[in-house]
Amino acid sequence: MIGIEVIDKPRLDGKRKALVLAEDRVGHYPEFREFFVRRFSLETNGLSRPAYVRAPSGMIYSLVFVGRSGEPFPDGIEIYALADALEPLSEGDVDTDLWALLSWMIDGIGGEWKVEDLDATGRLYQLPFLSDRG
């Protein structure tokens, strides 16, 4: 159960964008960049709008794609939690939401990239929320 839902642009009234994860080089393995291009039609949409996903906690995240001269687009990705404007984030929820997002990404990339390898890597490095998943 990955639990990521791609959604249309939500209402942003009363929200703030809280940066929770940044990647400077999404094309380090080209299939990662190709996944985002394919999934969000970035060849057509380019920089015109971010993508939005709803994660298992119910929090909505925006994915902002970053371009860099001389590099295929996107070169980077920034992930923002759309939090209530004046409320702190639940770091535990963000942690599990991001893990769900990574699982969704790996599942979408496919091929030699497998969610079970991501889970095994997370268990090897003892992510606390994976310890009771066997």
Which residues would be at the binding site for other proteins (CB under 8 A)? Answer: 21-29, 32-33, 77, 79, 95, 98-99, 101-102, 105-106, 112-114, 117-118, 120-122, 124-127
CB of 50 to other proteins, least distance (A): 15
| Nearer residue to other proteins within complex by CB, 24 or 87 | 24
Tell me the CB-side half-sphere exposure of residue 110, using CA atoms within 13 A.
6
| Nearer residue to other proteins within complex by CB, 12 or 29 | 29
Distances (CA, A) of 55 to 1, 71, 80: 12, 30, 12
| Nearer residue to other proteins within complex by CB, 11 or 128 | 128
The SS3 assignment for 88 reads coil
- Mention every residue, 6+ apart, whose C-beta is less than 8 A from residue 13: none
